[in-house]
């Protein structure tokens, strides 16, 4: 089942990002030391939403991947959405095939040190 961000959601996200940029707010989050937060998302990620697929997990709500940009987008059960950059397609495929999506995410993404950005 695919989760799509509505046009209203996209407009709200873009307005929030613009406000954060104008206000000079960094768009990073606190995370494990191994992760490398970035100050702003690449232009391609800001302009287009990644379609996510719902997963059965106690930690993750949905997962999406932009193969061209190599961006993995994760929606957590808390509602927070993060994008992880320069993630190989194989990591995405294995995440979707994993018996435990949350465990695989922790091992292969969170602990791997990919640059990331909290979107909302």
10 burial type by CB count under 10 A (0-12 exposed, 13-18 middle, 19+ buried):
middle
Q: What is the pTM of this model?
A: 0.62
User: pLDDT of 12-59, one tens digit each?
Assistant: 555 554 444 444 433 333 333 344 544 444 544 444 579 999 999 999
The crossing angle, in degrees rounded to 10, of helices 101-108 and 89-97 is: 150
**Alpha-carbon span 1 to 36, nearest angstrom:** 31
More confident residue, 13 or 78: 78
What confidence score (pLDDT) does residue 88 get? Answer: 97
Exposure letters 12-40 (e unless 16+ CB within 10 A, then b): ebeeebeeeeeeeeebbeeeeeebeeeee
**Confidence check: pLDDT of 100 > 80:** yes
Alpha carbon 57 to chain centroid distance?
16
Which residues lie across from 64 on neighbouring strands? 52, 73
Task: Mention every residue, 6+ apart, whose C-beta is less than 8 A from residue 117.
Answer: 27, 28, 37, 38, 40, 41, 45, 82, 83, 85
């Amino acid at each position: 089942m695919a989760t799509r961000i509505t046009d209203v959601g996209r407009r709200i996200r873009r307005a929030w990002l613009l406000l954060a940029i104008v206000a000079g707010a960094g768009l990073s989050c606190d995370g494990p030391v191994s992760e490398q937060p970035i100050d702003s998302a690449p232009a391609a990620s800001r302009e287009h939403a990644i379609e996510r697929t719902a997963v059965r997990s106690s930690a993750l709500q949905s997962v999406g991947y932009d193969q061209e940009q190599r961006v993995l987008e994760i929606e957590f059960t808390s509602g927070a959405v993060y994008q992880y950059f320069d993630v190989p397609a194989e990591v995405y495929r294995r995440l979707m095939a994993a018996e435990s999506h949350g465990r695989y995410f922790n091992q292969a993404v969170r602990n791997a040190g990919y640059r990331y950005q909290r979107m909302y």
